[in-house]
Amino acid sequence: MIEKEKLLEVKGLDVFYGDLQAVKEVNMEVKKGEMVALIGANGVGKSTILQAIMGLNKPKSGSVIWKGQDITGIQTNKIARLGLTMTPEGSHIFEDMSVYENLLLGAYPKHAKARRAESLALVYKTFPVLKEKEKQTATFLSGGQRQMLAIARAMMANPELIICDEISLGLAPVIIKDIYASLHEINKNGVSFLLVEQETKRALKHSDYAYVIVHGEVVLEGRSSALSEEQIAQVYFGVEQSGEGGAD
Ligand code: ATP
C-alpha cells in the first residue's frame, strides 16, 4: 500500500502558561486528504495545540513539521503562505466589513491572490448563502453563516490543510450538519482538515483518524471507524478518576 504524504507532524509538543503545563508531549499527524479530529472537553489544551501549530504561542519543547520542514514558532502569515490555515474558535470575522471584503482578506498569501477569482467561485459554490449576502455587512450574519464565512475565508488562502477550532460551538444541529457536509465537499477537492470537536460522536463520524486529549495529553488515538464513544468515555472517566485520587 502506498503511504499517504504527511502534511503536518507535531512531535513531542510541550506548551506552558507560566507554571501551568497546558500541553504535554503531544505527538500527532495529518496526512494528505485526511480529516483528523482532536477530541477533548473544555480546557484540556486543544486550542493551545492549534495555536502552537499556527505560530501563535511558543512551545517550550517539541516541533511542528509541515511537509518535512520545521515551522516551529514561525510567523502565522508565513505559515499561511505554506498552505496551512486556521479558522479560530468563535470565527473572528470582521464585523464592519462586507462578506465579500472578509473573503478577499483571506486571499492574502501571494499564491492565493493569483487564484482569487477561482477561489471565490469555489467558495460561492460551496456556500451559496455567502454569494447571496456578499454585499452585506458581516455583523448581520447568523451564527452558522459566520462559521461558513470563517471557513470560506480560510479557503480563499488556497490551503492544503484547514484547521477548524470548534466550528459547531453554539450552533443548531441542522446547521452543524450542513457545515460538515460542506467540509466533506471541500475535502473531496483535496483539502485536508484538522477538526477540534468536543462532541465525540460527531468527531468520530466526520473524521478518518482521531486523537483524544485529556489534561493536555493524547490518551487515545486511532482510525475513527475503530474507536467508539464508549471507549472514549472510559478513557475520560479513567483519567478523571486517577486524577482525583492524586495518582501520577
Ligand atoms: P476550550 O474547549 O474551552 O477552548 P481547550 O481544550 O481549547 O478548551 P485551552 O484553551 O488550550 O483548552 O486551555 C488549556 C489550559 O490552558 C486551560 O487550563 C486554560 O485555562 C489554560 N490557558 C489557556 N490559555 C491561557 C492563557 N493565555 N494564559 C494562561 N492559561 C491559559
Domain locations in the chain?
Answer: 1-83+160-167+192-238, 92-157
The answer to whether the CB of 17 is under 6 A from ligand 1 is yes
Q: Which backbone phi and psi does 84 adopt, to 5 degrees?
A: -125, 125
Looking up cell 455583523 gives: 139
Determine the distance separating the centroid of ligand 1 and the alpha carbon of 122, expressed in angstroms. Answer: 34
Q: What's the rounded Cα separation, in Å, for the pair 108 and 33? A: 24
Q: What's the rounded Cα separation, in Å, for the pair 194 and 161? A: 7
The answer to whether the CB of 44 is under 6 A from ligand 1 is yes
Mean predicted lDDT score pLDDT of the chain: 90
The answer to whether the CB of 126 is under 6 A from ligand 1 is no
Percentage of residues of the chain with pLDDT beyond 90: 74
Strands 84-87 and 161-165 turn out to be parallel
Relative to the CA of 44, which ligand 1 atom is closest? 6
pLDDT at 15 over 90: yes
pLDDT at 220 over 90: yes
pLDDT at 204 over 90: yes
pLDDT at 244 over 50: no
Q: What's the rounded Cα separation, in Å, for the pair 226 and 209? A: 9
Query: Residue 4 has what DSSP assignment?
Result: P
- The matching CATH number, chosen from 3.40.630.30, 3.40.50.300, 1.20.81.30, 3.30.413.10, for 1-83+160-167+192-238 is 3.40.50.300
The answer to whether the CB of 212 is under 6 A from ligand 1 is no
pLDDT at 243 over 70: no
Determine the distance separating the centroid of ligand 1 and the alpha carbon of 153, expressed in angstroms. Answer: 25
